[in-house]
Amino acid sequence: MIAGAHLSGAPPTRLRPPRRADGPRLHALVAHCPPLDLNSLYLYLLLTEHFPQTCLVAEDDHGVLGMVSAYLPPGRSEVLFVWQVAVHPRARGRGLALSMLRRLLRRPGLRQVRWLETTVGPGNEASRRLFARLAGTLNAPLRESALFDAALFGVDAHEAEPLLRIGPFPLSAVN
């Protein structure tokens, strides 16, 4: 078990890679976290099975509190692409999302990562603040560029998903 994050005034929180049994828990967590897209349960099972090295679960004795799903885009091992960050409403506002992202970047298997990328809709202020704060702690620039236009989402009403790119950051900024 990975040592827990210290969140003042809260029970101990453990941060660890996901395992297979977490698939349904991650699916249920994301269902509580709009505006995140809720994907199929099978997709969350695949994350636990194939991407535990780049995903993270936060839990306390009462259950799952948060998760980060991420992967190394093929052929770009210096980039960690963060797909979804979710913190259960009961655990928000205590720095857990920031702690999860920083803990992920500190994993021994991710020491080569110099850039973090994600997409964030224009209206997701909480997420934008989170990644701005992360860039600040890494002392790295954050740049935004177009990626997935709203039209690409077809008939579903969905905001555009521009790309946020943080980096380059040195390994020393992660530790």
Ligand X SMILES: CC(C)(COP(=O)(O)OP(=O)(O)OC[C@H]1O[C@@H](n2cnc3c(N)ncnc32)[C@H](O)[C@@H]1OP(=O)(O)O)[C@@H](O)C(=O)NCCC(=O)NCCS
Should residue 126 be labelled a site residue for ligand X when binding is judged by CB under 6 A? yes
Which of 45, 67, 98, 105 is in the footprint of ligand X by CB under 6 A?
98
Tokens of 145: 């560029």
Stretch that binds ligand X, among 40-48, 52-60, 103-111, 121-129 (CB under 6 A): 121-129
- The Cα 62–Cα 67 span in angstroms is 15
Minimum CB separation of residue 56 from ligand X in Å reads: 12
Q: Do residues 90 and 57 lie in contact, with contact meaning Cβ atoms separated by under 8 Å?
A: no
Should residue 25 be labelled a site residue for ligand X when binding is judged by CB under 6 A? no
Pick the closer one to ligand X by CB: 9 or 93: 93
Contacts with ligand X in 134-163 (CB under 6 A)?
A: none
Contacts with ligand X in 50-79 (CB under 6 A)?
A: none
- Return the ∠ at Cα 19 (arms to 58 and 31), rounded to 5°: 60
Distances (CA, A) of 58 to 5, 13, 22: 9, 6, 11
Stretch that binds ligand X, among 72-80, 106-114, 125-133, 147-155 (CB under 6 A): 125-133
Pick the closer one to ligand X by CB: 34 or 108: 34
Contacts with ligand X in 76-95 (CB under 6 A)?
A: 84-87, 92-95
19 burial (CB, 10 Å; 0-12 / 13-18 / 19+) is exposed
Cα-Cα-Cα-Cα torsion 118, 123, 129, 132, nearest 10 degrees, comes to: 50
At 162 the three-state DSSP class reads strand
Which of 60, 71, 107, 124 is in the footprint of ligand X by CB under 6 A?
124
The terminus-to-terminus CA distance of the chain in angstroms comes to 19
Residues forming the site for ligand X (CB under 6 A): 33, 35-36, 84-87, 92-98, 124-127, 129-130, 133
